[in-house]
Amino acid sequence: MDKISYNFKNRTAVITGGAQGFGLDIAKRFLNSGAKVIIWDIDPKMVEKSLNDLNNTNLSSNIVDVSNYQEVESSVKEITKNSNIDILINNAGITGPTATLWEYEIEMWKKVVDINLMGTFNCCRAIVPNMIKNNYGRIVNVASVAGKDGNANASAYSVGKAGAIGLTKSLGKELADKNIAVNAITPAGAKTRILDQMTKEHVQRMLSKVPRGRFLEVEEFTSLVCWLSSEENTFSTAAVFDISGGRSTY
């Protein structure tokens, strides 16, 4: 199937967790559509590999821990010296261990929530003022069906993603009088490296809940992100877009 063309010329996008998986595929599509892309990631080796593989003069990067507000703020100040930030894709996230809540290691719980929820908050807090200044912005927060349904043995991940959904709804309403759209996407399991962090039993349990009987393809996810990030999206905001193969029905 041919991909729909989008025009992201003269737009600058920040993609967190952009060195692999969803983030890297979004970066490729944005670059092919004319955008300048800045990938934020915590893994220097993966960032270097991504820059080499894509080999595009419109692509740059920062090593950023999104759970650290000072790092986020510093990177935003550096970028906005010479450019606006028109698009923010809050994609960085980790699943954490598979464990019951009462056995969950406390520091790991904090880490999972810090990256998945506080990371989204930190990036929005630092970047939204630039979007307000220019009366333009598109923010896509990558949540999960786990944030809707709550996955057994993944309570920290479910909480972090549920929080990201709530944040999306609040921020979208706060910015509704401006040309800034804030939306969340709730994918089911997808063919990315994040599956490698889970036990085979957990992965199979996830798959069994999807009526389409397969995992989400990365390109399918990217297509939805592109529309939400485009100028064509003039009315949808503070919304949650499901892409779960029929798993979630609300």
- Among candidate residues 6, 104, 136, 157, the one labeled active-site is 157
Q: d(Cα 223, Cα 73) in Å, to the nearest integer?
A: 29
Structural tokens at position 128: 């939204």
Told to judge if 157 belongs to the known catalytic residues of this protein, a careful annotator would answer yes
Residue 133 to residue 67: CA distance in whole angstroms: 25
Q: Please state the three-class secondary structure of 203-248 as a single string.
A: HHHHHHCCCCCCCECHHHHHHHHHHHHCCCCCCCCCEEEEECCCCC
d(CA 20, CA 12): 19
Distance separating alpha carbons of residues 38 and 48, to the nearest angstrom: 13
CA-nearest of 15, 78, 85 to 50 is 15
Catalytic residues: 157
